[in-house]
Structure formats: C-alpha cells, structure tokens
Structure 1
Amino acid sequence: MLFGKKKNKKSSNIAMMDSKVNEDFVEEKVTKIKDEDVELVMDNEEAISKKLSSASPLKKYKELGKIMFAMLKDVKNGTYPNMPWFTIATVAVALLYILNPMDLVPDFIPGVGYIDDLAVLSIGMGWIETDLHKYLDWRLAEEKEA
C-alpha cells in the first residue's frame, strides 16, 4: 500500500443515483495506480484538457488541470523530483476519471453526468492541496531565476 489509512477520516460522501463517490473509493483507485497509468494520463493530455474546457461543470478546473499536467511533466523529466508518489497517483486517478465517459454516473446524463467527476476532483485536490501549493511556489521561484 502506498500510504496508510488516515486516522479520524471524515468521509465526503456525495450520493448519486444508486452509487456513492467517497474518499474510500478514490483511495482504493489511488493505491492501484502504476507508472503505466501516469503515462496514459500524459498521452491523453489533449483529450482531458478538451473535456475540462468543454464540459460546463468542469470549466473551472481547466487551470487546475494545466497545473497538474505541468507538475506531472516536471516530475517525469526530473526537474521537480520532490513529489510524493501518493500525489502523482492522486493526480492520475482524478485525470483518468475525468477522461472516462462511462464512470459511476455516465457523463452524457444531463445535469448529473459530471457530479462524480467533480467529486473525485474535489476529494483528490483536498488530499494534495499542500503539494500543489509547494509545486506552484517552486515554479514561481524558477521563473524568477530565469
């Protein structure tokens, strides 16, 4: 297991039809991520970015998606080596989940199709917020030096 269970974990359940997206669901997916899955995210950057841009409920995550892709690229090419695997795996799960049109609530269902995508993004971002801020601080410092 990549990480231990969190103590006193509050479950962020978001009910959707007959299914629930919660922290346990996302955590289970994160623990199963492999290097090949991260490569799959990188190979599908354009499709994921397009979905973030074109799906009305996901548009506010467009910039966040750009940051996550930049972070993965910097980790992959070794310019930012300080990223825990848990954070990389969480980003991969969130972006792969968005890419998948047939997830817990299929995206083509009007009004509710993106609720589960938003839930997975929100849960994941809550877990890695600190690492995202560290990465952005590092990027700003790098830009000042250049």
Structure 2
Amino acid sequence: MISQILKSVFFKSAKGKAGRYAKNSTRLFELIKDSVSKLQKVGFKGNLSEFQTNVQLLIRMVRAYASGEYRGLPWRSLISIVAVLIYFVSPIDLIPDFLPFIGVTDDVALVVWLVKSLSNDVQKFGDWEKQAKTINIG
C-alpha cells in the first residue's frame, strides 16, 4: 500500500507543497493547527491510539522546528514530515476520508511508514525533548 500512496497524485501534490510550507513558519503553524483539528475530529481510539501518538510526535517535531527551538531535523526529513501531514489533513487522497472506517487506512499506513523510516531522527528528537524538559524542570 505504501508504494501506491507514494506514487499517487495526492502524495506527489503534498510533497510538492511541502517545500513551500517548510520555508514558512506561519504555514507550518497552520498545518499543525489543521493536523491537531483533524486528529480531534476523527477521534482515533483503540488500535489507532499508536497512530495518534505518532501524528502528535510529528506535530511536535514540526512545531519545534517552526519555532526555532529545534534545528536538528534534516531538511529532507522535515519535507517528508510536512508532506505526510499535508496528505493527512487532506480529505481527498488515495482512500477518501469520508469513507467510514477505511478512509483513514492510507493515512495510518503512511504515518507508520514515515515514523519507521525516520527512526534515527525521531530518536534524536525524543532525546532533545527529554533534555529540554529536564532543563525546564530543573
């Protein structure tokens, strides 16, 4: 399924927009807001809680980058994350979101694939987050 998503006109469009978004912190913050809104609207529960956790992680990574707090994210990884979030918030994609139950299948697959693909960057960000929290608490 991942190869179908990555080759789809929908993902190619998202990837084309990602560079413009990544260069503009205002657009990144709008994308974050849209992503949070979609997560709340869809209300992922049960087996999809890991998916929700992963999307929240991607949102935190983009927010930290956009605010200038975290610059350890490689440009290529940022573009990939932004493209996936653009795809996620779009109601019309490979499997349209208005289809009950199966509408988010492609979103789930894409997010899981991305988090695994960027595991080193995710780990570095997680370490940075823990260190930042320790500094703020201490």
Is residue 38–residue 89 contact of structure 1 (8 Å, CA) maintained in 2? Answer: no
8 Å contact kept, 1:30–1:90: no
Residue matched to 1:128: 118
Partner of 2:28: 38
**TM, length-normalised to structure 1:** 0.70
Instruction: Measure the CA separation in 1 of the matches of 2:19 and 2:55.
Output: 20
| Residue 92, structure 1, aligned to residue 73, structure 2 | no
Q: Per-residue deviation at 1:131?
A: 0.5
Structure 2 contact 58–81 (Cα < 8 Å) conserved: yes
Answer 1 or 2: which has greater helix percent.
2
Matching residue's letter, 1:74: A
Task: For 1:73, give the aligned amino acid.
Answer: R
Change (3 A) 1:109 1:31: closer
Q: Which runs of 5+ in 2 are unaligned?
A: 22-26
- Equivalent pairs, count: 128
Query: Which TM-score applies when normalising by structure 2?
Result: 0.73
Does residue 1:67 correspond to 2:52, yes or no? no
Q: 1:140 to 1:132 in 2, by over 3 A?
A: same
Aligned counterpart for 1:102 among listed residues 92, 110, 128: 92
- Runs of at least 4 residues off by over 6 Å: none
Q: Tell me, in whole angstroms, the C-alpha distance in 1 between the residues paired with 2:54 and 2:101.
A: 22
Identity of aligned pairs, percent? Answer: 20
Worse-superposed segment, 128-137 or 26-35: 26-35
Task: Confirm or deny: 8 A CA contact 1:75 1:83 kept in the other structure.
Answer: yes
